[in-house]
């Protein structure tokens, strides 16, 4: 009974490289959410996806960040040309229905360090 699986758990990149973070939702869940936690701050909403659709990307930075949730396979959060300010923990969550009662199941997070 696997929960939300994120990988890699830790990722180190140099400035200018690309980072790809993967999230496999719980079985039967078709709604995926990405949140970012900067040091000393709470989690901030980034994007909400359903299979093959981006529903709400209002929390995504306008440049360099993109997300997808293909019909097959995990959801991917992609950060191009990383900068030091991208260093953070990135959490994925999933839900069976649209998460309006907070029944989100979170992964353990992917911790990105940009050198």
**Close Cβ partners of 101 (under 8 Å, ≥ 6 residues apart):** none
Contact indicator for 53, 101 with CB cutoff of 8 Å: no
> Which of these, 94, 110, 111, lies nearest to 6 by C-alpha position?
110
Q: Which stretch binds another protein (CB under 8 A): 14-22, 39-47, 63-71, 72-80?
A: 39-47
Rounded CA-CA distance 82/106 in Å is 24
* Nearest distance, CB of residue 72 and another protein, angstroms: 24
Whose Cβ is closer to another protein: residue 29's or residue 45's? Answer: 45
The answer to the question of residue 10 lying near another protein (CB under 8 A) is no
Structural tokens at position 54: 């981006």
Whose Cβ is closer to another protein: residue 48's or residue 65's? Answer: 48
* Nearest distance, CB of residue 106 and another protein, angstroms: 4
Instruction: Provide the binding-site residues for another protein, judged by CB under 8 A.
Output: 3-4, 33, 35, 40-45, 48, 56, 59, 91, 93, 98-109
């Amino acid at each position: 009974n696997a929960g939300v699986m994120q990988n890699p758990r830790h990722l180190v990149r140099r400035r200018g490289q690309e980072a790809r973070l993967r999230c496999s939702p719980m079985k039967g869940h078709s709604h995926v959410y990405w949140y970012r936690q900067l040091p000393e701050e709470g989690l901030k909403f980034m994007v909400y996806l359903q299979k093959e659709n981006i529903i709400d990307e209002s929390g995504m930075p306008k440049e360099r960040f993109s997300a997808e949730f293909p019909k097959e396979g995990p959801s991917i959060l992609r950060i191009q040309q990383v900068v030091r300010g991208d260093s953070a923990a990135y959490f994925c969550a999933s839900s069976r229905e649209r998460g309006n009662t907070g029944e989100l199941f979170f992964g353990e997070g992917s911790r990105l360090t940009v050198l």
